[in-house]
Amino acid sequence: MLPKTRSQEYEHRKRKRQWEARIILDAITPFLEKNAVSGNKRIDIFEFGSGDGFQIPYLQKFGNVLASDIYTSNGVKRLQSVRFIECSITDAPFRNDQFDLIFASQVIPDLFDITNALREARRIGKASCLYAFSVPTNIWLLLSVPALYYNKVRKGVQTYNIDSRLKKALRVLLPEGRARWNFIECYQHYTIRSWQRLFSAHGFLVLEVKPLLFYGPSEWPIIPTRVSSTNFSSSVLFLMMKHENQVARR
């Protein structure tokens, strides 16, 4: 399978996110019903890092959605009747205990300040708030290697004046990492166990870890996208609540 054009890449990513959203909604429904959050009541939902808003129409089936990102995308502008605010989750402009459901899709790895982001997410969620965070796995990272090198060719390699010659050479030769982590660090942090340790350390009680999809990156999806029923998956969903006996670390 050859690399995709920009428009094909966009459509592939859109289909993945929408497919994940349908699975996620099925997964969170029993938890909302168990805590009497759903039913006839329109719950208050906050999505951070919404990007082009692929998941917003699905979340709106549950209640009143407020979406956010650090920029307003063209995709969000095209959506009808969407409440959107430009902000960072690390400094959320909301009152304490405001939301019933807080959602983020493939956003956590891109946060440079995870500690403050998760602290703010805890602060603005109600005591009964359900947190639904989907994250990539190290399986996805391995499947992304061809696309990482493809992007090096397509976009070039960014080096910095402070880099030594060796470091510049390594940036050219090795796969890129993501956000603040290099490729090896990404692989270590992207295991399901590492994600679980991270969330637990920041004051969350993990209720369920659900495999979502098995896929490659949209730039160059070398395998067909399909639903995964095992931990050998490219993305997983963490369903969590606040751990009342644990305070997020500073």
Range with lowest mean pLDDT among 2-11, 164-173, 211-220:
164-173
Angle at 240 between CA 238 and CA 242, to 5 degrees: 150
User: Cβ neighbours of residue 110 under 8 Å, at least 6 residues apart?
Assistant: 49, 178, 179
Q: Which residue has the tokens 């890449």?
A: 9
Residue 40: band (very low, low, confident or very high) from pLDDT cuts 50, 70, 90: low
Reported as a single tens digit per residue, the pLDDT across 160-179 is 777 788 877 877 888 888 87
Residue pair 240/142 in contact by the 8 Å Cβ criterion: no
Burial category of 8 from C-beta neighbours within 10 Å (exposed 0-12, middle 13-18, buried 19 and up): middle
Does 177 fall in a domain? no
Residue pair 25/86 in contact by the 8 Å Cβ criterion: no
Does 168 fall in a domain? no
Question: What pLDDT score was predicted for residue 150?
Answer: 87
Query: Residue 202 and residue 204: Cα distance in Å, rounded?
Result: 6
Q: Is the pLDDT of residue 182 over 60?
A: yes
Question: DSSP E strands: which ranges in the chain?
Answer: 43-48, 63-69, 83-86, 99-105, 125-136, 204-211, 213-214, 226-227, 235-242
Task: Domain count for the chain, please give it.
Answer: 1
Does 1 fall in a domain? no
Query: Residue 145 and residue 225: Cα distance in Å, rounded?
Result: 17
Reported as a single tens digit per residue, the pLDDT across 188-206 is 999 999 999 999 999 999 9
Does 249 fall in a domain? no
Residue pair 101/133 in contact by the 8 Å Cβ criterion: no
Segment 218-247 mean pLDDT: 89
Question: What pLDDT score was predicted for residue 248?
Answer: 43
Residue 59: count other Cβ atoms within 10 Å of its Cβ.
Answer: 25
Does 150 fall in a domain? no
The whole-model pTM stands at 0.90
Does 156 fall in a domain? no
Q: Is the pLDDT of residue 152 over 80?
A: yes
Which CATH number covers residue 62? 3.40.50.150
Does 247 fall in a domain? no
Boundaries of domain holding 64: 6-137+189-242
Question: What pLDDT score was predicted for residue 246?
Answer: 52
Does 151 fall in a domain? no
Residue 250: band (very low, low, confident or very high) from pLDDT cuts 50, 70, 90: very low
Question: What pLDDT score was predicted for residue 44?
Answer: 95
Q: Is the pLDDT of residue 249 over 50?
A: no
**Token couple for 18:** 């929408």
Query: Residue 185 and residue 213: Cα distance in Å, rounded?
Result: 23
Query: Residue 69 and residue 24: Cα distance in Å, rounded?
Result: 20
- Report helix, strand or coil for 86: strand
Reported as a single tens digit per residue, the pLDDT across 86-140 is 999 999 999 999 999 999 999 999 998 999 999 999 999 999 999 999 999 999 9
